[in-house]
Structures are given as structure tokens and as C-alpha cells.
């Protein structure tokens, strides 16, 4: 494709750059050249004289000037064409990598849940302390160390107050109440004793009278 384009471009440049009279003179000289035998051109002085005659009939210095101009235009056109092709290839590569980058970007809903949750005390005996909640395990809070992982001195907390689980598939928590004084969330929802209540990350749990508070991260 490139070779054909350059050939057409070269022909067009020569057609418009070189006057028709010079073309006709050059054609006649070439015809005369075909009628001269090789032996005659081999004679000392005859060859050079013949070349001078061809040069004279072809238009002299003007023919050379036009020919050089045509060559310069051809080279300029070729360079421009090649640079255009290179630029288009670069643009295609940039577009390809941009598309690849967009395809590999995670969608807003594709974020994976953390492998474990975190229970952080924000008020009460464990304020400022954090405890990891592993998926599949239940963290029990209460006053009795035989049942509880987090043990409280507060008499308003039951011996076995509540249990907290973390689901690594959804990233949510599930809380159940075992107490007699109750467990609730900061938004007013009560944690039931009959089944686990779902709590999203960011939920604050209030135990008993609310003196003990925990953030589910």
C-alpha cells in the first residue's frame, strides 16, 4: 500500500512540476538515444557529445532544476506520509491501553469484603481498644469469663450479654442478644434474642444502659 501510494504521488508531482515541453523534448531525446548503436557511443568523444545534445534538447539547466524540485517534493510528501502513519499507530496504541485500563478497573460493586471484621470500643471499659472478629467465629460479650471473650465489670451487663459474628462474603455483622437488660443499635433498633440481627459496618452497639458502646468496623 505504501509503495503504490508513493508511486502515484511521484507521478502527480512530476506531472505538475515539469512543463509539458520538457517532457516532449526528453521523450524525443530518449527516442534518438535508442537509435544510436553502442559501438558509436563507445568512440572517444562521441558519447560525451551525445549526452550534451540530450541535455540541451531536454531543457538544459531548467530541466535539472525542475527535476531536483520534483525530487524534493516527492521526498517531502513521503516523509509527511510516513510521519502520519506513525502518529496514527501511536494513537491506536494509546487508545488500546486506555481501553485495557478501563476494562481492568473494578466496578463500584465489585469491591471484596474484608477477610475479618473489627470491634472497637468507643465508650466504657474497652474504649479505644479493638478486637478482631474472624469470619465463622462468634465473639461473646458479658461479665462471666466462662462464656465471654470480652469480660466486663459493669453490673449492668449480663453474664452472657450478646454475641457478634462477621460474614466475610457480604462484609456485614450479625448480632444476637443473650441478656436480660437488652442490646440495641445507635439508630434505635433492638437486637433480638430469637435470631441474629444484621448490622452494617459503621453500626454502633449499645449494651445494657448504654455505658458500654462498640463500633463495628
Q: Give the three cell numbers for residue 14.
A: 512530476
Of 203, 205, 204, 155, residue with least CA distance to 181: 155
| Residue range 50-89, pLDDT digits in tens | 555 555 554 555 555 666 766 676 667 676 677 777 677 7
- pTM here is 0.50
Within-domain flag for 168: yes
Domain boundary among 59, 81, 104: 104
- Within this chain, do residues 96 and 155 fall inside the same structural domain, yes or no? no
- Within this chain, do residues 162 and 211 fall inside the same structural domain, yes or no? yes
Within-domain flag for 111: no
* Least trusted range by pLDDT, from 63-67, 113-117, 156-160, 198-202: 63-67
How confident is the model at residue 159, as a pLDDT? 95
- Within this chain, do residues 91 and 172 fall inside the same structural domain, yes or no? no
Give the residue with greater pLDDT, 7 vs 80: 80
How confident is the model at residue 142, as a pLDDT? 96
Within-domain flag for 110: no
- Within this chain, do residues 84 and 155 fall inside the same structural domain, yes or no? no
217 pLDDT above the threshold of 50:
yes
Domain boundary among 83, 104, 125: 104
121: CATH:
2.60.200.20
* Least trusted range by pLDDT, from 82-86, 95-99, 151-155: 95-99
- Within this chain, do residues 167 and 133 fall inside the same structural domain, yes or no? yes
- Residue 45 CB burial class (10 angstroms; 0-12, 13-18, ≥19): exposed
* Number of domains the chain contains: 2
What is the extent of the structural domain holding 6? 2-104
Residue 28 Cα to chain centre, angstroms: 63
| Residue range 186-215, pLDDT digits in tens | 999 999 998 999 999 999 999 988 899 999
- Within this chain, do residues 86 and 126 fall inside the same structural domain, yes or no? no
How confident is the model at residue 123, as a pLDDT? 94
- Within this chain, do residues 211 and 128 fall inside the same structural domain, yes or no? yes
- Within this chain, do residues 155 and 202 fall inside the same structural domain, yes or no? yes
Within-domain flag for 61: yes
Domain boundary among 37, 71, 104: 104
How confident is the model at residue 129, as a pLDDT? 95
- Within this chain, do residues 61 and 132 fall inside the same structural domain, yes or no? no
pLDDT confidence of 158, banded at 50, 70, 90? very high
Amino acid at each position: 500500500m505504501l509503495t503504490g501510494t508513493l508511486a502515484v504521488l511521484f507521478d502527480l508531482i512530476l506531472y505538475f512540476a515539469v512543463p509539458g515541453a520538457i517532457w516532449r523534448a526528453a521523450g524525443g531525446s530518449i527516442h534518438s538515444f535508442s537509435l544510436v548503436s553502442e559501438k558509436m557511443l563507445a568512440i572517444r568523444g562521441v558519447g560525451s557529445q551525445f549526452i550534451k545534445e540530450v541535455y540541451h534538447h531536454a531543457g538544459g539547466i531548467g530541466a535539472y532544476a525542475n527535476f531536483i524540485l520534483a525530487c524534493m517534493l516527492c521526498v517531502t510528501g513521503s516523509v509527511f506520509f510516513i510521519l502520519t502513519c506513525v502518529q496514527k499507530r501511536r494513537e491506536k496504541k494509546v487508545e488500546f491501553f486506555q481501553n485495557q485500563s478501563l476494562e481492568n478497573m473494578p466496578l463500584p460493586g465489585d469491591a471484596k469484603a474484608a477477610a475479618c471484621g473489627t470491634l472497637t470500643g468507643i465508650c466504657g471499659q474497652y474504649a479505644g481498644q479493638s478486637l478482631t472478629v474472624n469470619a465463622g467465629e462468634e465473639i461473646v460479650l458479658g461479665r462471666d469469663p466462662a462464656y465471654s471473650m470480652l469480660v466486663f465489670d459493669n453490673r449492668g451487663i449480663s453474664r452472657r450479654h450478646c454475641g457478634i459474628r462477621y460474614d466475610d462474603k457480604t462484609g456485614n455483622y450479625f448480632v444476637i442478644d443473650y441478656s436480660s437488660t437488652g442490646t440495641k443499635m445507635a439508630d434505635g433498633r433492638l437486637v433480638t434474642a430469637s435470631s441474629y440481627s444484621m448490622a452494617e459496618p459503621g453500626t454502633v452497639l449499645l449494651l445494657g444502659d448504654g455505658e458500654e458502646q462498640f463500633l463495628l468496623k
